[in-house]
Chain A
Amino acid sequence: MTKNFLKGDDLPRFLEILAGYGELHGPVRSDDGVITFRPLCGPADLLLDYHRTLIPPKKYLLPPRETILAYAPESGYRQPGTPAPKIVLLGVHPCDLAGIAYLDRVFLGNEPDPLYDARRSALTLIGLSCEPDDSCFCGDRGVSSAGDLFAERTGGGLSLTSMSRRGSEILEKLSPFLAEKEPPSSAQRACSVLTEITLAAARQETFRQSPLWDDFAARCLSCGACSLCCPTCYCFDVLECGALDGKTATRLREWDNCLFRAHGEVAGGHNFRKDRRERFRYRYRHKYLGFGPTRGEVACVGCGRCREVCPAGIDLLELFTGGCHETGN
């Protein structure tokens, strides 16, 4: 038995130690009732029992809009010296940790992205166990590799497990406040749709003949909410913003969306995904079959956000449960 149990009363001590690693952020209910990751004002702010935030933690690694280059005539293009502030993000559910692990593979794999790399190194992640609801379906994904510490809620406190060197260091500092307690047995979550997704991805299923594509296309408003709230959607657009001096400029990258019409457009106006049906298939393919280096990887982490926020009630999971099987490209 290891000393890893933190009583609920000692949560403030835990936060004090974590504050040495950066500004504390966590799930907070805002004044307008939206659950959001934001700076914590105190321990009472932190929600330990919540379903999901509206926007996933990707915003800490890929801000909705960021400067990637700055241009001035005398110096040409330069990388901006944007400092990455040290942040400790608490209360991250396993699905969101899995989302970050996926983004790590994309942005830190081959040729790391320097801006992502700087933010990621400055981020300490404290995972938190959750209770599934009707929208989510992560199943039993196990503990992802992305976190530093994982906190399992159990009988009046938190059972802490280290997942990185930084996590072990934090536990070490916290040890005066830790008690011995049998770790909670993790409940097995059966999830039939996850099995369906895994099987479909393994056979490179495209559901080419499914009538659902037309149904989705007819209802979709192209609002982009599904991508905004997705922990693994990372498509970005690149924009150049000339300054009012007419000489200098900044180059920005900002979240883009594969359901937007302009996503597949080329110079001269030709569009390779001009109708919504094609754009939905593009989204499906990226999410479940993978592109480029993530080919063969399911990007969906089962957080349930897109099903919850879609104003038209579109749910890609219907593809998997609809019983239409046809493999093709």
Chain B
Amino acid sequence: MRPVTDPRTMPEPATIIDLRPLSADTVFFRLRLEEGAASRFTFLPGQFVQLSVPAGGEVPVSLAGIHGRHGILELCVRRAGRVTAMLHDLPAGAVVGIRGPFGTGFPVDAWRGKNVLLLAGGLGLAPIRSLLYHLLRNRPDYGEITLMYGARNPAAILFKEELAELSGRRDLHLFLTVDFATEEPAGGLTCRTGLLPTLLHGVNFPMGNTVAAICGPPALYRCLTAELDNFGFPSEDIFLSLERRMKCGVGRCCHCAVGSLFCCTDGPVFRLAEVREIEGAL
């Protein structure tokens, strides 16, 4: 039996039990932790893990699923560098390492009774998916739930089947957009053309008693927050999941500071009000 070690400093082995490509450069992984580690692993939507590819290195990755199934983690990883390229080459059954979970996550308990507007761009759908499934699992606790998701083009839309299934739900408003389209998205998805901030203008969503959660590429935050400002959305009610290169996860390596806050320990989920005046935050 393995000795109990600190899951924040020592990678726990996790087996790839399932993997499937979501787009040309992004793969969905389902991992299973070993018995002891599985029982200790709980997390909130918005938290992240450090994923080790043996002999390759470690990368921070958002958790894309929800806590529940015993020791099963879902991750959505784009091939963006050396470590992620090695991960994409691994077959099902291969063992990787997991440290964490790290960070604060979305304050889902404090959101009870509120409407939730979810805004995701590109791979930013990964943590938003975790959040969405948490909200849907506890559906009676929340008001109206709206998901707006933008991808570069129809082929880059992640989780197409799931989105198609979700679009049939009557307790969720789902809107998709692509930056440009030369073809129809597969799977019968209804999809607009245009940028995500433009989509905000074109659809109705509840304004009062609403919180917004945003995750996407760096450029998206400035545009979306400017739009939400125009709508009069209070910046205390806008939550952003920020991307930085967290190397240690425990607030020591100092690569991920946003102002005087650490993305790895104080974030990665921040209120817009906390970070909007910080130079370089968005």
Residues of B within 8 A of A79 (CB): 5, 10
Check A76–B243 contact: CB distance below 8 A: no
Residues of A within 8 A of B9 (CB): 114
Q: Closest CB of chain A to B148's CB: distance in Å?
A: 23
B266 within 8 A of A: yes
Known: A240-B56, A249-B55, A329-B279. A113 touches B257 (CB 8 A): no
The stretch among A137-145, A146-154, A280-288 that forms the contact with chain B is: A280-288
Nearest A residue (CB) for B52: A77
Q: Count of B residues near A, CB < 8 Å?
A: 45
Check B57–A236 contact: CB distance below 8 A: no
Residues of B within 8 A of A242 (CB): 55-56
| Interface of chain B residues 252 through 282 with chain A (CB within 8 A) | 252-255, 257, 259-262, 265-266, 277-280
Distance in angstroms between the alpha carbons of A206 and B10 in the assembled complex: 37
Q: Count of A residues near B, CB < 8 Å?
A: 52
Distance in angstroms between the alpha carbons of A281 and B281 in the assembled complex: 13
Check B10–A77 contact: CB distance below 8 A: yes
Check B254–A258 contact: CB distance below 8 A: yes
Check A113–B57 contact: CB distance below 8 A: no
Nearest B residue (CB) for A289: B260
Residues of B within 8 A of A291 (CB): 251, 254, 257, 260-262
Distance in angstroms between the alpha carbons of A272 and B256 in the assembled complex: 9
Distance in angstroms between the alpha carbons of A106 and B265 in the assembled complex: 14
Check B260–A71 contact: CB distance below 8 A: no
Check A106–B252 contact: CB distance below 8 A: yes
Residues of B within 8 A of A292 (CB): 251, 257, 260-262, 265-266
Known: A77-B52, A249-B54, A329-B278. A263 touches B262 (CB 8 A): no
Q: Closest CB of chain B to A235's CB: distance in Å?
A: 4
Check B279–A71 contact: CB distance below 8 A: no
| Interface of chain B residues 205 through 251 with chain A (CB within 8 A) | 217-218, 243-245, 247-248, 250-251
Residues of A within 8 A of B78 (CB): 267-268
Check A237–B253 contact: CB distance below 8 A: yes
| Interface of chain B residues 159 through 186 with chain A (CB within 8 A) | none
Check B55–A248 contact: CB distance below 8 A: yes
A177 within 8 A of B: no
Residues of B within 8 A of A289 (CB): 260
Residues of B within 8 A of A234 (CB): 252, 254
Q: Closest CB of chain B to A278's CB: distance in Å?
A: 6
B58 within 8 A of A: yes
A202 within 8 A of B: no
Check B245–A238 contact: CB distance below 8 A: no
A165 within 8 A of B: no
Check A240–B55 contact: CB distance below 8 A: yes
Residues of A participating in the B interface, judged by any CB pair closer than 8 Å: 69, 71, 73, 76-77, 79, 106-107, 111, 113-114, 206, 208, 234-240, 242-243, 246-249, 251, 253, 256, 258, 263-268, 270, 272-273, 278, 281-282, 285-286, 289-293, 295, 328-329
| Listed A/B pairs (20) with beta-carbon separation below 8 Å | A76-B54, A234-B254, A235-B253, A238-B247, A238-B253, A239-B57, A240-B52, A240-B55, A251-B58, A256-B254, A267-B59, A267-B80, A267-B245, A270-B243, A272-B218, A272-B244, A278-B280, A282-B257, A286-B254, A328-B277
